[in-house]
Amino acid sequence: MSVNLQTPIDYLKGVGPNRAELLRKELGIHTYQDLINLFPNRYLDRTTYYKINQLQQNSAEVQVIGQIIKFEEVAQKRGKRLVATFQDDTGTMELVWFRGHKWIRENLKRNTPYVVFGKTNWFNGKFSMPHPDMELLKDHEKSLQSAMQPIYPSTEKLTNKGISNRVLIKIIQQLFTETKGQFTETLSPELLENLHLVSKSQALFNVHFPQNQELLTKAQYRLKFEELFYIQLQLILKNLIHKSKIKGLPFHHVGDYFNTFFNTHLPFELTQAQKRVLKEIRTDLGSQAQMNRLLQGDVGSGKTIVAFMSMLMALDNGFQACLMAPTEILSVQHYNGLIEWCNKLNISIKILTGSSNTSERKEIHENLENGQLQILIGTHALLEDTVKFKNLGLAIIDEQHRFGVAQRSKLWHKGPNQNPEKALAQNAVPPHILIMTATPIPRTLAMSVYGDLDISLIDELPPGRQAIKTVHRYDKNRLKVFRFIRDEIEKGRQIYVVYPLIQESEKMDYKDLMDGYASIERDFPKPKYQISIVHGKMKAADKDYEMQRFVKGETQIMVATTVIEVGVNVPNASVMVIESAERFGLSQLHQLRGRVGRGAEQSYCILMTSHKLSNDSKTRLETMVRTNDGFEIAEVDLKLRGPGDIMGTQQSGVLNLKIADLIKDNDILKSARYYAKQILNNDPSLSSPSNKAILNTYRQMAKYRNIWNYIS
């Protein structure tokens, strides 16, 4: 009878209720399946046995076969240490323990062969090994334990409660004994053959107890492929189901709004990339399925006009559109950018934010419900239950990683003639969804986190835009930097000076900002120079007043914290000075740099730092100076910070990987996605006999592991 891998871990011989409770709490191990998927972090090479006269003074981890010939206690400053003389046929060394003396004396046998393993120290002309791993030679020869010893993830609590690495190895050996090392195959014969993969049973045995490096490499490859394959299968299936099951509102034609804007009011010639993306969106909207598309484009690549033209397609088909942004500043900017075009086309557009007053809200609510209001821009305020559309056809979400999953799903339920409660019950048709981001997402992450979305890319800047020149300067060069700023102001340009704002040290940041402001005031005195200041402690109205002065060109320098990271659009601003640049992340630096370079003039970004820089900081600054390519920057950021940080908490569930690593295993990920696509193209329901193992595994995952939690 095969062992059920869903059996609770309590029932494994050698575990019991107390250990089971600890394993659940500390490592999330509930079942046999969880234990078999606890993969080693690293391995110690136990293939070589050293003689005592071969030991080197380099404090390496070694193993030696010999026997204890005597014990003695040696006094030291605090308490005593226990020393055993350990001997083989070439010499002697010392084994040392600083605690647990009684147990060691009672349990370790003299004049009996042991294998000892540990780090050696050279002291007073002799080798010693503190707190060695010890195993009777006869047990060592019998055990499943392989030549390469696995080291498992652990916690301080586990070690303190006696669940050492040795104990973990023992209970995993017990699991192999109970299952006879036989595990159900999870991949199809074709995949195993095409990719020369070892079987599931071989892979699991050799990842826990590898006899040599070659077998370990094959086992790891097989298990990494499998893990990434099922995530990709899940995402692609989700997309296919989405397209076949979730009906979309039919946008049958492109009409007057779109054509008039395109032929008469387009402010500039669209780039090839913008045209390509519009075509992709147009195809989606006419496909009878709900659009679920991610639009990626670097800062300044022209996403807004693509979004607006997509809204015009909704209006042309008799539907309303909305655009939701994460901050009020950004919402206001979108609104200001679109209102001019809407006026020319006689389209009604309004903005709804936290600071909209009651009478404005009332009017907006009424006109939304009766259909007079065609486009609504806003913040989270759009999600309130009181906001009801007559027939919402397209919802655009800007910088969506700042919204939670629950918030985004609320927009789904605001489709034509429905309230959220009845929406799902009536099989209602949700609006089309377009998600925009200026945060370039590395291809690897896009494939994993957004693998269920269709992705469009605007990968060229509008003509006439010049690449921003970026330089790194130390604090001692400040006077030269100020001279350069003066020259730019003489040419009629405007300047940003940005200070970091990190929540924990707000006092310090505020002081930095005010000190910086004071020194700029000294070097740029009134009335010749006017300076705006914006920071998080100001009231919204004051912030807005200062921003507007800068936008209108009444002030030449804007001193700010990172509140301007997203949103402010001042084409005349040509210099971005980032103070303490080493305290910013790469993506934040790139976003800030994108605030300049919006006009036809040459723009500059100056990264100011102290002389003390960590290696990571140096890498970030060198990357910024070297390239303006957001995707290249995102790849470096991914390597520095890891996937979880980049996606933020809302998205990181997808990256809860057991053995694969999105960064190092990029090639395996591509291969996994390729094969998952191929299999589903040929057999969408996985019903062919050759895909039986894949279908069964997929069902098991959905049943037990809730694979949906992989997906944001």
pLDDT tens, residue by residue, 226-235 = 999 998 898 8
Among 94, 111, 144, which residue terminates a domain? 144
pTM above 0.85? no
Q: What pLDDT does 407 receive? A: 64
pLDDT of residue 563: 61
Q: What is the DSSP code string of 564-592?
A: GSS----TTEEEEEETTGGGS-HHHHHHH
Least confident of 292-296, 307-311, 320-324, 446-450: 446-450
Residue 225 has pLDDT above 70, yes or no: yes
Q: Most distant CA pair in the chain: distance in Å?
A: 98
Is-contact 635 643, C-beta < 8 A?
no
From first CA to last CA, the distance across the chain in angstroms is 38
Distance (Å, whole) CA 501 – CA 503 = 6
So what's the pLDDT on residue 510?
64
Token pair of 45 as six digits: 């090479």
Strand partners for 87: 67, 92
Residues 404 and 540 placed together within one structural domain of the fold = no
Ranges 8-17, 239-248, 359-368, 504-513: which has the least confidence = 504-513
What is the CATH classification number for the domain harbouring 320?
3.40.50.300
Q: Give exposure, 325-356, as e/b (b: 16+ Cβ within 10 Å).
A: bbbbbbbbbbbeebbebbeebebebbbbbeeb
Per-residue model confidence (pLDDT) at position 221: 96
Does residue 251 belong to any structural domain of this protein?
A: no
The count of structural domains within the chain is 4
Q: Could you tell me which residue, 243 or 560, shows the higher pLDDT?
A: 560
Give pLDDT tens digits for 659-671.
888 777 888 988 9
Task: Say if 181 falls within a structural domain.
Answer: no
Do residues 88 and 219 share a domain? no
Domain boundary among 122, 144, 166: 144
pLDDT (0 to 100) of residue 648? 45
Residue 706 sits in the same domain as residue 673: yes
From residue 510, how far is each of 514, 524, 569, 578, 612 by CA, in Å? Answer: 6, 21, 25, 15, 21
Domain for residue 198, yes or no? Answer: no
Region of 447 (left: φ > 0; alpha: ψ -120 to 50; beta: rest) is alpha
Q: 54 lies in a domain? A: yes
Cα distance between residue 709 and residue 712, in whole Å: 7
Of 404, 438, 458, the domain-final residue: 458
**Residue 204 to residues 100, 220, 260, Cα–Cα distance (Å):** 36, 9, 63
Instruction: Please check whether residues 495 and 572 belong to one and the same domain.
Output: yes
Residue 447 structure tokens: 């494939």
Q: For residue range 188-211, list pLDDT tens digits in order.
A: 999 999 999 999 999 999 999 988
∠ Cα 276 281 287 (to 5°):
130
Place of tokens 């003639």: 417
pLDDT, tens digit, 9 for 90 and up, residues 106-140: 889 999 999 998 889 888 888 999 999 888 998 88
pLDDT of 562 > 70? The answer is no
Separation between Cα atoms, residue 627 and residue 469, nearest integer Å? 9
What is the total residue count of the chain? Answer: 712
* 474 and 351, same domain (yes or no): no
DSSP state of 539: -
Strand order from edge to edge, sheet including 91-97: 121-123, 126-130, 91-97, 80-88, 61-75, 114-119, 133-136
- Assess whether 329 and 363 both reside in one domain: yes
Would you say residue 409 has pLDDT above 80?
A: no
Q: Is residue 334 domain-resident? A: yes
The rounded Cα 618 to chain-centroid distance in angstroms is 22
| Same domain, residue pair 101 and 234 | no
Q: What mean pLDDT value characterizes the chain?
A: 85
CB proximity list for 117: less than 8 A, separation 6 or greater = 44, 46, 61, 62, 63, 132, 133, 134, 135, 149
Residue 166: inside a domain, yes or no?
Answer: no
pLDDT in tens, 604-647: 999 999 888 998 899 999 999 999 888 788 888 877 876 555 44
Residues 619 and 679 reside in one and the same domain: no
Do 384 and 269 share a structural domain?
yes
What CATH number corresponds to the domain at position 127? 2.40.50.140
Residue 159 lies in a domain: no
Same domain, 314 and 232: no
Assign 48 to helix, strand or coil: coil
Judge if 596 and 449 occupy the same domain. no
| Residue 115 bridge partners (DSSP) | 65, 135
HEC per residue, 432-476: EEEEEECCCCCHHHHHHHCCCCEEEEECCCCCCCCCCEEEEEEHH
- Res. 507 pLDDT band, cuts 50 70 90: low
308-348 confidence digits (pLDDT tens): 999 999 999 999 999 999 888 788 889 988 999 999 999 99
In a domain, 157, yes or no: no
419-432 as b/e: b if 16+ CB within 10 A? eeeebeeeebbbbb
Judge if 487 and 429 occupy the same domain. Answer: no
Residue 505: what pLDDT?
A: 52
Domain holding 138, by residue range, is: 47-144
